[in-house]
Structure 1
Amino acid sequence: MAYNDQNIFARILRDELPAIKVYEDDQVLAFMDIMPQADGHTLVIPKVPAETLLDLPPEAAAYTIQIVQKVAKAIETGLDVKGIVLMQLSGSSAGQTVPHVHFHLIPSSIHELGRHAAQMGDQEKIKALAEKIKAAL
């Protein structure tokens, strides 16, 4: 299947839709999930158009995971948490809801997680958490 450049993450990358950004460089964007499973739930996406992990070029995958690690450390430091759940759902049958490869960083234990994309989070609270993460970067 061809990459759909009208998906929500592609539109965020083009600044057509807003995002609460915590990190950005020329290859990767990290931003807050607006339907968080836990406080501080952050998404990391490569800027290359790829629907699933298997569509992502190896060089982009390697670089993206380095930023995933960097942002995870900032979440632990900035939010004073001791654990991060890392999820990457690849393909709709695996639960992927946006057809652009992305990594979920969720500060909590697996037993505390809310259901994926179940309800909109408090945007002001999400912005405050983003500021703490950015300060730790």
Structure 2
Amino acid sequence: MMNDPNINTSFSPKIGIFWLIMENGVPRFLTDMVSVNEGEQYGDSVTWSGHYDFWEKIRTQKKTPLVSRVPLWSEYEEWPRGRVIFNKKHNHFVVYADKKILTETGKQELTSTFSLPGNQTIFKKDGHYVSVRQITI
């Protein structure tokens, strides 16, 4: 666990990973997130989790209710996805995502879901997160 007194967590922003999935005909975000203080140091940034590991964890759950059935029948890289990190050097959050997610609605949903401060959040397309599914928000 990381504890950095320079990070203001009074508004409880989160970092982590996400997908935009289609479930029962409705697009929704599937997320794995933690507070910034619970994240992992990675250079000048604080990050959390890995897409593949989380997807496989959901896929293999036996005793607890699934947060989504989508991982049972599809692969993690099929869906638009992304990551929220905190850049300590510049004191802001960065949302890296598939461009399909970076609509005004998508940005608003992610800002709300991760409790991100609008004046400290940057959204960036990332070629690493390119999906084959045609889904928009």
- TM-score over 0.5 for the pair: no
Give the greater-gyration-radius structure (CA): 2
Q: Indicate the structure with greater strand content.
A: 2
What band does the TM-score fall into relative to the shorter chain? 0.3 to 0.5
Which structure's residues are more often helix, by fraction? Answer: 1
**TM-score, length of structure 1 as denominator length:** 0.32
Greater relative contact order (Cα < 8 A, sep 6+) = 1
